[in-house]
Structure 1
């Protein structure tokens, strides 16, 4: 049994938070003593945490002020390995590990396309973290764990990070028995009593997710009875609703908010669409594939190309091209639903929790996969 620590900002509704909660559970399931530490605390994903995982909340006002408290915790609680996630948390963890003398045990991870993600949050502290992180990644003893080869290559191509400074590990997106587990019942009325084709998308209502392109593509579909549901919350809600009204599709479009079980909704839909401008390794795309539902994705940096094997598993279209996206969606909606179904499910199986836990253990402990 190894004593392992995962360091996060909190357990709010982001993809990284959800995956780290799942990874903590998978590592505990593998027989390890796992603690998940939050620099601040709380969040909707706390309820997903395996009861075997210990929770620690430092209750710092913000991540950047948590260094002293985290250093004390690391000094007083020795772990075989420590894993931090997200760039600003990585910088805090590196500083605290250096102060506590535990830098040799620390591993950090990048969850998104660094060269794109660094422009998203304009806050000075976050900008400073993105400037400092690549330098620190060259100095720390362990390589940065990236969620895809694209994310790793992006770090190498756009920062001073070297190839020897990075490694990769897949996200623990799916339960090990996902093939045998029937998806739950959908919550949306359009999916419970489906009378016409329904397209699903899931994600934060933010520019990164490209939902404006998806709505523009939706308005081009020849079947005027088709409906579109985008699950998620974010700052662009009003803008997306106004776009749908302007394009004359508002009556067939819905933004119902955050959904805790996207697989249940996607399994009942006719097509899932990932319209992102950039990603790291889109978990919702993997969840969609696992249901067998037809999928269309942008060929955005990074992740979809690797997951969909350069378009062999499902169609890939250019970013910000509503015409191409509409054409690909129309093809999926008019093709037999079960066409390539098994290939989609098999592609998702790579991201089962036990496999991911094994890969992370190998990276964290520098051992061979168990």
Structure 2
């Protein structure tokens, strides 16, 4: 049994937080003693954390101010491996590990396309973190664990990081028995009592997700009965609602907020769409594939091309091209649902907990890759 630590900012909504929570549980399943530490604390995912995972909250008012407390914790609690996630947390963890003498056991991870993600949060300390992180990545003893080959290549191509400074480990997106589980009942009335084809998307209502392009594509679909639901929350809610109104599709469009069981909603839909402008490794796309529901994705950097095997498993279209997106969705809606269903499920299987955790253990503990 190895003693492992995962370091996050908090457990609020976000793909990285959700995946680190799942990874913690999967590492426990693999026979390890796992602690999840939050620099601040709390978050909507906290109550979903596996009860076998120890949870520590430093309650720092800001991530950057957590360095002394984290250094004390690392010095007092020796772990076989420490894993930090997200760029600004990585910088804090590197500083604390250096002060505590545990840098040799620290691993950091990048969860998104670095060259795009650095422009999302313009807070001063986050911007500073993105400036210094590539230099630190060259100096630390362990390679940066990237969530996909595209993220690794992006880091090497757009910063001073070298090929030897990166490695790749898949996200633990799915339970090992996902093939045997029946989806739950959807909560949305358009999916519970379906009277017309329904398109579904899931994600934060933020520019990265390209939901404005999706709404424009939806308006260009010839069938006037098709409906669109986007599950998620965020700052762009008013703009997206206004766009739907302007394009004349507001009566067939809904933004119901977060779904308690998004996979149940996706499983009942006729098509799932990932309209993102950039990603790291889109977990929602993997979850959608696992239900067998037809999917369409943008060819955004990075992840979809790898997950969908260059478009063999499901259609890939250019980013910010609503007409191409509308055509691909229309094609999927007119194709028998059973066509390529097994291929979609098989493509998702790579991201089962058991498979993904082995790639992480190989990176964290120096085990040979499976």
Q: Classify the TM-score, shorter chain.
A: over 0.9
Please state whether the residue corresponding to 2:350 is helix, strand or coil: helix
Q: CA deviation at 1:272?
A: 0.1
Look up the match of 2:179. Answer: 179
Q: Deviations over 1:292-316 (max 9, x none)?
A: 0000000000000000000000000
Within a 5 Å distance, the mapping from 1:85-164 to structure 2 comes to 85-164=85-164
Q: CA deviation at 1:260?
A: 2.9
Does residue 84 of the first structure (1) align with residue 84 of the second (2)? yes
Q: Deviations over 1:231-254 (max 9, x none)?
A: 000000000000000000000000
Q: CA deviation at 1:93?
A: 0.2
Aligned mates of 2:352, 2:181 — CA distance in 1: 13
Q: TM-score, normalised by structure 2?
A: 0.99
Aligned mates of 1:262, 1:349 — CA distance in 2: 18
Please state whether the residue corresponding to 2:239 is helix, strand or coil: helix
Q: CA deviation at 1:358?
A: 1.1
Does residue 209 of the first structure (1) align with residue 185 of the second (2)? no
Look up the match of 1:221. Answer: 221
Q: Deviations over 1:165-224 (max 9, x none)?
A: 000000000000000001111010100000000000000000000000000000000100
Look up the match of 1:3. Answer: 3
Aligned mates of 2:16, 2:271 — CA distance in 1: 25
CA RMSD after TM alignment:
0.6
Gaps of 5+ in 1: none
Q: Deviations over 1:63-93 (max 9, x none)?
A: 0100000000000000000000000000000
Aligned mates of 1:206, 1:369 — CA distance in 2: 36
Look up the match of 2:64. Answer: 64
Please state whether the residue corresponding to 2:178 is helix, strand or coil: coil
Please state whether the residue corresponding to 2:179 is helix, strand or coil: coil
Q: Deviations over 1:93-129 (max 9, x none)?
A: 0000000000000000000000000000110000000
Please state whether the residue corresponding to 1:10 is helix, strand or coil: coil
Look up the match of 2:256. Answer: 256
Please state whether the residue corresponding to 1:300 is helix, strand or coil: coil
Within a 5 Å distance, the mapping from 1:257-336 to structure 2 comes to 257-336=257-336
Q: CA deviation at 1:369?
A: 4.4
Within a 5 Å distance, the mapping from 1:30-41 to structure 2 comes to 30-41=30-41
Please state whether the residue corresponding to 1:41 is helix, strand or coil: coil
Please state whether the residue corresponding to 1:172 is helix, strand or coil: coil
Look up the match of 2:48. Answer: 48
Aligned residues: 370
Q: TM-score, normalised by structure 1?
A: 0.99
Look up the match of 1:340. Answer: 340
Look up the match of 1:190. Answer: 190
Look up the match of 2:170. Answer: 170
Aligned mates of 2:148, 2:362 — CA distance in 1: 16
Look up the match of 1:246. Answer: 246
Aligned mates of 2:51, 2:245 — CA distance in 1: 45
Query: Runs of at least 4 residues of structure 1 off by over 2 A?
Result: none
Gaps of 5+ in 2: none
Aligned mates of 2:341, 2:71 — CA distance in 1: 49
